[in-house]
């Protein structure tokens, strides 16, 4: 029988209540404290706009949780020997988190369920995927909360003309709507909608029970999603049109790299000139020890 721990981070019940945290058990069997459950998120649909990000490091995840981000997505590949997703889960233990699973990792319903279970075993509250409704239906039937993907689905972009906006014609707009309704029928609870006209998402969001997570699709959805690397400005330009950089860590990283180079250069110069090491950086032998050492190794006396 599995041994369960509370996983509540030692938070007293009163403090947990004040922070709006709820005690949960994941599908993987782990206890924890979360800001939202799937039911909570569905209950606020159409009432309050939520925030979401995808952190790439445990440090980003911890910062996002402290800042009050509502939900997170985390990349998870069950084919990798180590799981960064598990470390990110530990870094943000109280935030509702969906593990984003690879499109090509599952080719059958059984594989979809197995990958979903692997994610839940690591503490995910659900999974996010670009799978077909058939695979999503298998995972949801197994009790796994699934978020689908519609609009511009990058890995499937050859079908919609490449990495471009989708839904600017009546035919495409209807197609996006129909794809979302298929995900709804498959049992998904949410859908990431990427790079479609803002007005289209606003109209669709009112006509589906799914929570709509908008990235590049305006503010008419239920969740506003932006990658942590965009929010923090981790990379230099060009930037995606739908993104906004709230910080410029890229500039800071460039400055840090310049400092690294400068530090190494000074080290090289001082070693070559004899300026390093100085007496303060070395250990002196007690009087007579070196003389005795030389006598021994040179065979004198």
Tell me the domain boundaries of the chain. 13-247, 253-298
* pLDDT band, very low/low/confident/very high, at 142 (cuts 50, 70, 90): very high
Provide the CA 194 distance to its chain's centre, in angstroms: 17
Active site residue 194: yes
Q: For residues 251 and 236, give the distance between their C-alpha atoms in angstroms, rounded to a whole number.
A: 8
Residue 162's alpha-carbon distances to 16, 132, 143, 151, 300, in angstroms, are 46, 19, 34, 12, 83
Q: What is the pLDDT of residues 247-276, one digit of tens each?
A: 999 999 999 999 999 999 999 999 999 999
Q: Is 102 helix (H, G, I), strand (E, B) or coil?
A: coil
Tokens of 125: 């509250």
Q: What is the pLDDT of residues 48-61, one digit of tens each?
A: 999 999 999 999 99
Residue 126 near residue 140, CB atoms below 8 Å: no
* CATH among 1.10.1040.50, 3.30.300.160, 3.40.50.150, 3.20.20.60 for 13-247: 3.20.20.60
Q: For residues 97 and 120, give the distance between their C-alpha atoms in angstroms, rounded to a whole number.
A: 10
* pLDDT band, very low/low/confident/very high, at 83 (cuts 50, 70, 90): confident
Q: What is the pLDDT of residues 207-238, one digit of tens each?
A: 999 999 999 999 999 999 999 999 999 999 99
Catalytic pick among 192, 194, 229, 255: 194
Tokens of 218: 């305006």
Residue 32 near residue 65, CB atoms below 8 Å: no
Q: Is 109 helix (H, G, I), strand (E, B) or coil?
A: helix
pLDDT over 70 percentage in the chain: 93
Residue 26 near residue 120, CB atoms below 8 Å: yes
pTM of the model: 0.88
Tokens of 2: 């599995």
Task: Give the residues across from 226 on adjacent strands.
Answer: 53
């Amino acid at each position: 029988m599995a041994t369960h721990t509370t996983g509540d981070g030692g938070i007293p019940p009163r403090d947990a209540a004040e922070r709006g945290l709820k005690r949960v058990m994941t599908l993987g069997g782990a206890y924890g404290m979360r800001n939202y459950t799937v039911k909570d998120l569905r209950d606020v649909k159409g009432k309050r706009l939520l925030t979401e990000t995808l952190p790439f490091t445990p440090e980003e995840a911890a910062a996002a949780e402290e800042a009050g981000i509502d939900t997170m997505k985390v990349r998870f590949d069950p084919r990798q020997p180590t799981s960064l997703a598990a470390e990110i889960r530990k870094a943000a233990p109280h935030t509702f988190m969906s593990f984003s699973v690879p499109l090509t990792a599952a080719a059958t319903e059984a594989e979809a369920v197995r990958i979903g279970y692997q994610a839940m075993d690591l503490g995910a509250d659900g999974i996010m995927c670009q799978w077909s409704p058939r695979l999503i239906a298998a995972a949801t039937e197994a009790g796994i909360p699934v978020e689908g993907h519609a609009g511009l689905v990058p890995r499937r972009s050859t079908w919609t003309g490449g990495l471009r906006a989708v839904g600017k014609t009546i035919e495409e707009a209807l197609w996006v709507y129909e794809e979302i309704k298929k995900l709804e029928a498959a049992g998904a609870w949410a859908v990431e909608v990427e790079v479609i006209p803002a007005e289209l998402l606003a109209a669709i969001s009112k006509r589906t029970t799914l929570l709509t997570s908008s990235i590049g699709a305006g503010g008419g959805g239920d969740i506003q999603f932006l990658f942590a690397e965009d929010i923090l400005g981790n990379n230099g330009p060009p930037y995606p049109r739908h993104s906004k950089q709230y910080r410029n860590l890229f500039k800071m990283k460039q400055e840090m790299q310049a400092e690294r180079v400068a530090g190494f250069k000074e080290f090289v110069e001082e070693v070559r000139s004899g300026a390093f090491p100085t007496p303060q950086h070395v250990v002196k032998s007690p009087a007579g020890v070196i003389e005795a050492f030389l006598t021994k190794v040179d065979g004198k006396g």
